[in-house]
Structure 1
Amino acid sequence: MKTLQNLVGGIWEDSRGDAFHDVVNPATEEVVARCPSGSPEDVRLAVDAAVRAQPAWAALTVAERVERLSRWADTIAAHADELAELECREMGKPVALGRAFIGGAAMGFKAAVAEALEYAFEETVDGTGTTIVRTPLGVAAVIVPWNFPVPMTLGALGPLLAAGNTVVLKPSERSPMSAVRLLELMDLPPGVVNLVLGDSRAGAPLVADERVGLVHFTGSVESGRKVGERTGALLRRSILELGGKDPVVVDAGVDPVATAAAVAFGAFANSGQICTSMERVYVHHDVAEPFIEALVEAAGTYALGDGHDARTVLGPLVDRRQRDIVVRHVADAVSRGATVRAGGVVPEGKGFFYPATVLTGVDESMLVMTEETFGPIAPVAVVSSFEEGLERASASRFGLAATVYTADPAHMAAARRIPAGVVWVNQWQGGGPERLYEPAGDSGMGATGSRAAYDAATRPTSIHTAPAA
């Protein structure tokens, strides 16, 4: 069993802390690695290394940084199978699904990095004698969750590094192995990207380090509030992508069977452990019956199993704690009058599995409609009109993303009224790397994506030069 190490200034080294925890394969419950729990000294050394490396990295031309980062992207793509296998072992994602997301993330990373070649790091305001120069912040901290460790890391790193910042990365203590391998594949100058492993014993001192100019955090609302409080007290920037309870509105006039298949994937993919999973479904009564029948049928095709098996569509939840949340939400819904139409029963045997589950008769008195579930659950509420669906979709403290299925052009336009960072119409996860968004409500703060990611990664300075006397 491997004991994982930190990467500090280009050197793999043991944690200075004395606490460790086991990384457990959620499909087999076998221990697959030993991970340090972190310490302030680990963080101090990693930030030291990032501070030392930053001036030389920023001194490279943009084209030089882009070229180095693009080569790394190609290496990652070539090792997508290996990285997907590690994600499967540490958090249960089926290898085929992981491979697809990692391949897409490598391409997205390369595209995001290339945007630096067109970004206005320096621009002149005509006729004013003013030049606006955007310089890197210095050191950034990137803290990523366990559900998509490689894609989430790449999504954050690209613009930060291309803009000339150096980074200290802290992956989730639940899924550190793929992050370790990701940085083993890296060919960048020592200290440009550093890795600190651990839980809050690493995360808290990293957020609190005054030399960190930006914290890019993805995780729970509770932890995100703590990050925001600390960075605010330090007058440092933070980008927070937090919980979601993403709604789906299914309008009359759509193909109920095809739409049900799309919703099944949006609700059940990665066992519902996606920040933008479909967690609330509002279906128009005109198509409700065939839609629900098709959704129940689709749920039955999501075969449970170890993600290394090509036949597996639905892997386990990341651990027992996460499965307990799902079980509690379903039990609460049933106790309040919901009906289980598919799934809803913990299977026997090892592993933290839970089947694709469809609930009907749900309302907003239930946890499954108000709190983030993060499991393979599709709770379906029947609405009398598109407007009712839109209103109920909008009535949430979360605002990460939303999806609307409709054939009505007026309803397509109305979809933008949902307060969310991303609204997809007729295609969940649509769009490309040019997407720019900011979560609403308790789902976070800080615009990111495309040019907004470069704006967040840099500080503008206006330089006014008057004619000499």
Structure 2
Amino acid sequence: METLHNFIGGRWEEPAGEDVVAVVNPATEEAVAHFRAGSADDVDRAVAVAVAAQPEWAALTVARRVERIHAWADTIAAHAAELAELECREMGKPVGIGRSFIAGAVAGLKAAANQALTYPFSETVPGPAGGRTDIVRHPLGVTAVITPWNFPVVMVLGALGPLLAAGNTVVVKPSERSPLSTVRLFELAASTGLPPGVLNLVLGDGRTGAALTEHKDVTLVHFTGSVGAGRAVGKATGHRLRRCVLELGGKDPVVIDAGVNPVATAQAVAFGAFINTGQICTSMERIYVHERIADEFVEALIATARTFTIGDGLDPATVLGPLVDARQRETVRRHVEDAVHKGATVRAGGAVPERRGYFYPATVLTGVDDTMLVMTEETFGPIAPVTVVSSFEEGLTRAAASRYGLAATVYTDDPDHITAAAQLPVGVVWVNQWQGGGPERLYEPARESGMGATGARAAYDAATRPAAVHVAATAPAAGR
């Protein structure tokens, strides 16, 4: 069984904590690695090294920093299959799906780094009386990235491009449930010439994350995770008057208009609800379908759900891997049982299979209402609860009635309905294509789904601090 270590200042170090954490393969329920949870001392060392490395990294030209990031990205791409297998072993994602997401993350890392080449790190605006004001954006210094277990590689790469390209150094704390692939990412970074101390890794649990979040020399915390943990991050950074970018939970709705193809739309919705076993913060977790096509849509959704075969993600035939652990499966089971108890009907799946591993089948529920946990709380599992609505407007209204506001998907060919959907109180609205959009997209989660704009220029705005230097037209005349 592999023993994992911290990566601090270009060297691998055993964490100083006493508690040992096991990494468990959710398909086999067997431990595949372990590590000592990092202590506050580990965090102090990592941050101190990052502080020392930051001036030299920031002194490089932007082009040089981007070149170093590209070299790392190319190396990651060459090891995508290996990284996907590590993700499968630590959290269950099927390897084929993992490879595709990692390829997208590498492309995203390169695109984000390239945006530094055109970002206005300095610009001049006219001042009064013929003077000028120079606006210079400085790197923040040491930044922290705390990532969740469901996309270990994707979430690290998604955060790092703008932070590094802007001249910051970074300390990463991955989820204790899935550190294997992140450790490998850092091995690859060390082999591609990123200077020691620019990227540092501290393994640990919530206590390690809290020590990093509360550290006096951390200037920005980029956190992805639960609402509860996000509140703690926001409180800690607010107390120190530091920045945070929070992407938290979601309960994403889907609104399906009467004029769309019900079969093709059902197939698309099944993918959005079940891929990665529903363990995506933007998974389709609430489905509102127009009554005119509801019957045909539901039948197609049931048929598609039954094609999501359960199995170990290392098997190429597997479409639906396990949930990450027993605790997450219990949450999914509890939500389904609550819905059934309150009157919902299970149309596909809906029961824990009798086999080893933390599996749960692709499940379709009908007859759901807004008193059920499966419609109000983040399930994070392969569950598709369907509500029939009498109009597109009713669907939008019910979609908006949530304490979350991460994203929403709408299927319609009506231009007026597209315009109306743009008013949904969420960070991203996808129309007729879930997960659409390019590298220039920027957004900010709404409500309890987070805070802090991210993507494109917004990510660089968050990673830098603007300072204004006003220069008068003339200097004061010399005195006599």
The one-letter amino acid paired with 2:221 is: V
Q: How does 1:313-324 map to 2 (within 5 A)?
A: 313-324=319-330
| Partner SS, residue 292 of structure 2 | helix
Corresponding residue of 1:305: 311
Corresponding residue of 1:167: 170
CA drift at 1:63: 0.4
Quick check: 1:106 aligned with 2:106? yes
Q: How does 1:146-161 map to 2 (within 5 A)?
A: 146-161=149-164
Quick check: 1:336 aligned with 2:342? yes
| Partner SS, residue 422 of structure 2 | helix
1:199 corresponds to which of 184, 196, 205: 205
- How many Å separate the matches in 1 of 2:21 and 2:348? 36
| Partner SS, residue 185 of structure 1 | helix
Quick check: 1:40 aligned with 2:40? yes
Corresponding residue of 2:134: 131
1:366 corresponds to which of 366, 372, 381: 372
CA drift at 1:420: 0.5
CA drift at 1:464: 0.2
CA RMSD of aligned residues (A): 0.6
- How many Å separate the matches in 2 of 1:11 and 1:38? 15
- How many Å separate the matches in 1 of 2:47 and 2:331? 35
CA drift at 1:434: 1.1
Corresponding residue of 1:235: 241
- How many Å separate the matches in 2 of 1:74 and 1:93? 23
| Partner SS, residue 459 of structure 1 | strand
Quick check: 1:390 aligned with 2:396? yes
8 Å CA contact retained: 1:215, 1:237: yes
Quick check: 1:375 aligned with 2:381? yes
The one-letter amino acid paired with 2:74 is: D
- How many Å separate the matches in 2 of 1:241 and 1:202? 19
The one-letter amino acid paired with 2:162 is: P
Corresponding residue of 1:65: 65
8 Å CA contact retained: 1:304, 1:355: yes
Quick check: 1:256 aligned with 2:256? no
Corresponding residue of 1:345: 351
- How many Å separate the matches in 1 of 2:244 and 2:464? 13
- How many Å separate the matches in 2 of 1:349 and 1:73? 39
Corresponding residue of 1:441: 447
The one-letter amino acid paired with 1:436 is: L
1:283 corresponds to which of 283, 289, 309: 289
The one-letter amino acid paired with 1:11 is: R
1:423 corresponds to which of 429, 447, 456: 429
8 Å CA contact retained: 1:218, 1:240: yes
- How many Å separate the matches in 2 of 1:269 and 1:74? 26
- How many Å separate the matches in 1 of 2:420 and 2:70? 40
- How many Å separate the matches in 1 of 2:369 and 2:463? 41
The one-letter amino acid paired with 1:394 is: A
Corresponding residue of 1:80: 80
The one-letter amino acid paired with 2:52 is: R
| Partner SS, residue 364 of structure 2 | strand
Corresponding residue of 2:94: 94
Return the TM-score normalized by structure 1: 0.99
8 Å CA contact retained: 1:35, 1:173: no
CA drift at 1:143: 0.1
The one-letter amino acid paired with 1:233 is: H
Aligned length: 469
Corresponding residue of 1:226: 232
8 Å CA contact retained: 1:106, 1:154: yes
C-alpha distance after superposition, 1:277-318 (max 9, x if no partner) = 000000000000000000000000000000000000000000
The one-letter amino acid paired with 1:129 is: R
2:331 corresponds to which of 298, 316, 325: 325
Quick check: 1:399 aligned with 2:402? no
- How many Å separate the matches in 1 of 2:2 and 2:265? 45
Structure 1 residues without counterparts, runs of 5 or longer? none
8 Å CA contact retained: 2:16, 2:37: no
Corresponding residue of 1:459: 465
C-alpha distance after superposition, 1:67-126 (max 9, x if no partner) = 000111111111100000000000000000000000110011001000000000000003
- How many Å separate the matches in 1 of 2:363 and 2:375? 14
CA drift at 1:441: 0.3
Percent identity over the alignment is 71
1:182 corresponds to which of 180, 185, 198: 185
CA drift at 1:42: 0.8
Structure 2 residues without counterparts, runs of 5 or longer? none
| Partner SS, residue 293 of structure 2 | helix
Corresponding residue of 1:2: 2
- How many Å separate the matches in 1 of 2:87 and 2:17? 25
| Partner SS, residue 417 of structure 1 | coil
Corresponding residue of 2:145: 142
CA drift at 1:201: 2.0
CA drift at 1:378: 0.2
- How many Å separate the matches in 2 of 1:434 and 1:297? 37
8 Å CA contact retained: 2:343, 2:368: yes
CA drift at 1:385: 0.3
Return the TM-score normalized by structure 2: 0.97
- How many Å separate the matches in 2 of 1:396 and 1:182? 37
| Partner SS, residue 271 of structure 2 | helix
Q: How does 1:9-24 map to 2 (within 5 A)?
A: 9-24=9-24
